[in-house]
């Protein structure tokens, strides 16, 4: 099967006795990871058996009303019910709200942890039955800026190359990615590229991450100054005529206006804004431009800004200028975070696109899906839906009244959590479909127990577009059920109540039929069949049943035809440090944990990294009289948390780092909900905070907030 954590998509062998997984290994001939696994893949499976897992449908005892909705972590506040009652109740309430409020009244969060098939079906249910595009998932909170920029510039948002091609790079840039902790197996391949194949690595990052040890150049920029740094590299490439004239002439457009917009981005100007030595910028530009094969790898440090689309665009420009794209070992590679964020996006888990990135506001696309889902002509909603953050903001009269949440946890993952809490309290109806009652599920009216990846069949699509099998290895715990089955059962109940029984098809006997339905309409998945995925998966696009898959993209052209340069301006972060809040907070992941912690904090991984830490540079710590391990209060204009200091050179002066896994010291209580205007992604990577020493007693004592007891 395939690892349920990150987008690398490592292949796993589950060792099972008496329906119990007791060990996880990986075969040496596995194409993605060659037998290597990180700590999460190897040891992070025991959440399946955690006593906090809920394995029976639950309904809240007390009726929750808008404005008085509360969180229920205690099982006594819920009653166990049958699947029939739970699904009937959910169908009844959703249809009632739909009849009263219309399509805008409903929204759903899909899930990058769930399979392609689960995501395809839930978006189908909301589009075909409730006629709403208020459908989104956590890609909005991670790579939305990259997706928008890549779509604007080349018409495709996936990684252009296979991750393992890094050994064919002569030069590669890592930026905004702590690769050794967030994509550890790709980091292994990168280290091998440097040590065994002579590749030269340039790291552009505010933190002294592990990959800096392997780099020939480190450009320690201030958070949010990517546009000046990368545009200054473009400036140098233009001034020194290091660009690829033939590539620009034959494969791009907009070069003249772009060249003009780069005029002011001198290395001196970039140094003044970013703090990066101008000579390093010049050296990096020359090294990248003069390489035979060069690639750029980036993660959330680039798009998670109020100017995230511009940041990603500044990287794309470098590839278009030099022609470092469209070959093995040359390309643009946004490293996707979740195990199936690429697949969930491909499957239509987004408010502006049907599966296959077909715009919902194109009548021809709507007509295609109306036919497939047996919806009357003109029946599908052609208005762009709300994004994750907009859904929460729209809760209230005339806006969103009900949310169906599959595996997401906005009470941990959204910025400015105090605002999210206030909004969820106003909601009329909330359904949570998950394994645990997490911080968001605790607000729900109904809890539908889903299964883990080891208890169901399906497919995940990893960061380099490889569709791989997920296999049912053990029986579902208790009464829990696969997401795809829950959705199909619920959809039929909704159809019946809407007076449209048996309109769309929900009678699938296996997820393979769901993937075939999707592939019949999404050309890139047309040749992806379960029978072809038995051994090692296929990289999309797979145009037909004989097509071998596509390791790297854009050999001859881009999906939009010519690659397009877009003139850029520098815009600073919305909230800059000042006398009151003098530090920049940047957030991210650590190796041992996963996102909101729903899985890893209910696993023995939590013993390896049991509490939240704030990374502070030694010089800043000395000035504030903070010692390593001391309790510290970190405050922003939106909230305040207390956690221990980790005094380290890993962060730069004036910048502090907190991971976002810990509910009891939630980094997102501090972050700002400023959005990128195009991608609507929040600015997680830069806001202003203040640090003050705290007393030991102020440290949070609670266990992770989850339900005690087991059904």
**Is 3 within 8 Å of 339 (Cβ atoms)?**
yes
Binding mask 199-238 for ligand SF4 (x = CB under 6 A): ----------------------------------------
If the CB atoms of residues 314 and 338 are measured against ligand SF4, the closer one turns out to be 338
Least gap, CB of 1 to ligand SF4 (angstroms)? 11
CA–CA distance, 339 with 426 (Å, rounded to integer): 32
Residue 12: CB minimum distance to ligand SF4, A = 8
d(CA 340, CA 342): 5
Pick from 159, 180, 185, 344 the residue near ligand SF4 by CB under 6 A.
185
Residue 336 C-beta: closest distance to ligand SF4, Å: 11
Cα 313 from Cα 227, distance rounded (Å): 8
If one asks whether residue 6 binds ligand SF4 (CB under 6 A), the answer comes out as yes
> Could you write out the DSSP letters of every residue in 149-173?
HHHHHTS--S-SS-GGGGGG-SEEE
Rounded CA-CA distance 7/462 in Å is 5
Question: Cα separation of 159 and 137, whole Å?
Answer: 19
Task: Measure the N-to-C terminal CA separation of the chain; round to a whole number of Å.
Answer: 27
What are φ and ψ of residue 461, in 5° steps? -115, 120
CB of 462 to ligand SF4, least distance (A): 8
- Residue 45 sits in the site that holds ligand SF4 (CB under 6 A): no
In the complex, least distance from residue 171 CB atom to ligand SF4, rounded to whole angstroms: 24
Which position among 21, 30, 37, 464 is part of the footprint of ligand SF4 (CB under 6 A)?
37
Q: Which of 38, 201, 514, 691 binds ligand SF4 (CB under 6 A)?
A: 38
Residue in 104, 105, 184, 511 binding ligand SF4, rule: CB under 6 A: 184
Q: Closest separation between CB of residue 40 and ligand SF4, Å?
A: 4
Binding-site residue total for ligand SF4 (CB under 6 A)? Answer: 13
| Cβ distance to ligand SF4 smaller for residue 165 or 226 | 165
337 belongs to the binding site for ligand SF4 (CB under 6 A) = no
Query: Would you give the binding string for ligand SF4 spanning residues 9-28, x where CB under 6 A is met?
Result: xx------------------
8 binds ligand SF4 (CB under 6 A): yes
Candidate residues 21, 41, 194, 304; the one interacting with ligand SF4 per rule CB under 6 A: 41
Tokens 């690659």 — which residue? 563
Q: How far apart are CA 565 and CA 152, in angstroms?
A: 9
Instruction: Select the span of 3-11, 170-178, 419-427, 530-538 touching ligand SF4 (CB under 6 A).
Output: 3-11
> With respect to ligand SF4, which residue has the nearer C-beta, 419 or 604?
604
Binding to ligand SF4 in span 535-594, by CB under 6 A? none
Nearer to ligand SF4, 38 or 219 (CB): 38
Furthest CA-CA distance within the chain: 71
- Picking from 407, 510, 508, 485, the residue whose alpha carbon sits closest to that of residue 87 is 485
The piece of 2-10, 220-228, 530-538, 560-568 that touches ligand SF4 (CB under 6 A) is: 2-10
- Helix or strand run (H / E) with residue 625: none
Stretch that binds ligand SF4, among 7-15, 382-390, 453-461, 478-486 (CB under 6 A): 7-15
Does 341 engage in binding with ligand SF4 (CB under 6 A)? no
Name the residue with the smallest CB distance to ligand SF4: 41
Q: How far is the CB of 182 from ligand SF4 (least distance, A)?
A: 8
Query: CB 39 → ligand SF4: shortest distance, Å?
Result: 7
Judging by DSSP bridges, how do beta strands 294-298 and 331-334 pair with one another? parallel
Least distance (Å) between residue 526 CB and ligand SF4? 27
What is the SS3 assignment for 287?
Answer: helix
Per-residue H/E/C for 289-324: HCCCCEEEEECCCCCCCCCHHHHHHHHHHHHHHHCC
Query: Closest CB to ligand SF4 among 48 and 270?
Result: 48
Residue 187 near residue 494, CB atoms below 8 Å = no
Q: Tell the smallest beta-carbon distance from residue 466 to ligand SF4 (Å).
A: 11
Among 1, 30, 40, 138, binds ligand SF4 (CB under 6 A): 40
Q: How far is the CB of 151 from ligand SF4 (least distance, A)?
A: 26
As a whole number of angstroms, the distance between CA 450 and CA 529 comes to 25
CB proximity list for 32: less than 8 A, separation 6 or greater? 8, 9, 10, 11, 163, 164, 185, 462, 466, 468
- Residue 5 as a binder of ligand SF4 (CB under 6 A): the answer is yes
Are residues 448 and 433 in contact, defined by beta-carbon separation less than 8 angstroms?
yes
Query: Phi and psi at residue 149, in whole multiples of 5°?
Result: -65, -45
Instruction: Work out how close the CB of 172 gets to ligand SF4 at its nearest, in angstroms, rounded to a whole number.
Output: 18
Tokens encoding 101: 């409020």
Q: Strands, E, within 220-305: which ranges?
A: 252-253, 294-298
Q: Which residues, in sequence order, are bridge partners of residue 25?
A: 13
Q: Point out which residues bind ligand SF4 (CB under 6 A).
A: 3, 5-6, 8-10, 33, 37-38, 40-41, 184-185
């Amino acid at each position: 099967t395939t690892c349920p954590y990150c987008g690398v998509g490592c292949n796993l062998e589950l060792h099972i006795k008496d329906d119990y997984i007791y060990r996880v290994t990986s075969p040496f001939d596995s194409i993605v990871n060659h037998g290597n696994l990180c700590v999460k893949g190897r040891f992070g499976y025991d959440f399946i058996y955690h006593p906090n897992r809920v394995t029976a449908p639950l309904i809240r005892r007390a009726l929750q009303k808008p404005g008085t909705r509360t969180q229920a972590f205690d099982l006594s506040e819920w009653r166990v019910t049958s699947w029939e009652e739970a699904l009937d109740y959910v169908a009844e309430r959703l249809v009632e709200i739909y009849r009263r409020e219309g399509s805008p009244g409903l929204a759903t969060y899909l899930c990058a942890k769930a399979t392609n098939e689960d995501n395809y079906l839930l978006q189908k249910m909301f589009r075909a039955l409730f006629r709403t595009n208020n459908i989104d998932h956590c890609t909005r909170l991670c790579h939305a800026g990259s997706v928008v920029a890549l779509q604007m510039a080349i018409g495709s948002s996936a990684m252009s190359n296979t991750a393992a091609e890094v050994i064919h790079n002569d030069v590669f840039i890592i930026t905004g990615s702590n690769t050794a902790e967030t994509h550890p197996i790709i980091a292994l391949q990168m280290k091998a590229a440097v040590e065994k194949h002579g590749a030269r690595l340039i790291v552009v990052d505010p933190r002294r991450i592990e990959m800096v040890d392997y780099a020939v150049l480190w450009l320690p920029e201030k958070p949010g100054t990517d546009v000046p740094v990368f545009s200054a590299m473009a400036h140098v490439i233009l001034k020194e005529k290091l660009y690829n004239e033939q590539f620009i002439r034959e494969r791009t457009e907009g070069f003249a206006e772009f060249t003009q917009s780069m005029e002011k981005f001198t290395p001196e100007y970039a140094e003044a804004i970013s703090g990066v030595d101008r000579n390093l910028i010049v050296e990096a530009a020359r090294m990248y431009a003069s390489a035979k094969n060069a690639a750029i790898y980036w993660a959330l440090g680039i798009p998670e800004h109020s100017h995230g689309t511009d940041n990603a665009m500044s990287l794309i420009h470098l590839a278009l200028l030099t022609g470092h794209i469209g070959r093995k070992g040359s390309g643009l590679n946004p490293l996707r975070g979740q195990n199936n964020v690429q697949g969930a996006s491909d499957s239509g888990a987004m408010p502006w696109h049907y599966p296959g990135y077909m715009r919902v506001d194109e009548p021809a696309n709507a007509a295609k899906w109306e036919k497939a889902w047996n919806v009357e002509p003109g029946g599908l909603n052609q208005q762009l839906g709300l994004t994750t953050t907009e859904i929460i903001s729209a809760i209230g009269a005339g806006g969103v009244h009900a949310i169906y949440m599959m595996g997401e946890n906005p009470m941990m993952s959204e910025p400015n959590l105090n605002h999210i809490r206030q909004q969820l309290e106003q909601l009329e109806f909330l359904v949570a479909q998950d394994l645990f009652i997490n911080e968001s599920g605790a607000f729900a009216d109904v809890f539908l127990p889903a299964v883990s990846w080891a208890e169901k069949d399906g497919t995940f699509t990893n960061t380099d577009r490889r569709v791989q099998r997920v296999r049912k290895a053990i029986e579902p715990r208790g009464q829990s059920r696969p997401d795809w089955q829950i959705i199909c059962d619920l959809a039929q109940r909704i159809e019946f109540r809407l007076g449209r029984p048996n309109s769309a098809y929900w009678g699938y006997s296996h997820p393979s039929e769901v993937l075939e339905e999707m592939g019949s309409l999404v050309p890139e998945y047309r040749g992806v069949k379960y029978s072809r995925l038995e051994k090692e998966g296929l990289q999309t696009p797979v145009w037909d049943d004989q097509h071998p898959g596509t390791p790297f993209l854009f050999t001859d052209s881009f999906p939009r035809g010519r690659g397009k340069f877009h003139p850029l301006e520098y815009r600073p972060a919305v909230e800059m440090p000042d006398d009151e809040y003098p530090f920049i907070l940047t957030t991210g992941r650590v190796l041992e944990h996963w996102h909101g912690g729903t899985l890893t904090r209910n696993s023995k991984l939590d013993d390896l990294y049991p509490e939240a830490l704030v990374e502070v540079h030694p010089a800043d710590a000395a000035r504030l009289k903070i010692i390593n391990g001391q309790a510290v209060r970190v405050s922003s204009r939106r909230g305040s948390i207390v956690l221990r200091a980790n005094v380290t050179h890993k962060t730069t002066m004036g910048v502090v780092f907190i991971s976002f896994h810990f509910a009891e010291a939630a980094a997102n209580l501090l972050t700002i909900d400023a959005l990128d205007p195009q991608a609507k992604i929040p600015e997680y990577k830069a806001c202003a905070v203040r640090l003050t020493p705290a007393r030991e007693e102020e440290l949070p004592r609670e266990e992770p907030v989850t339900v005690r007891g087991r059904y």
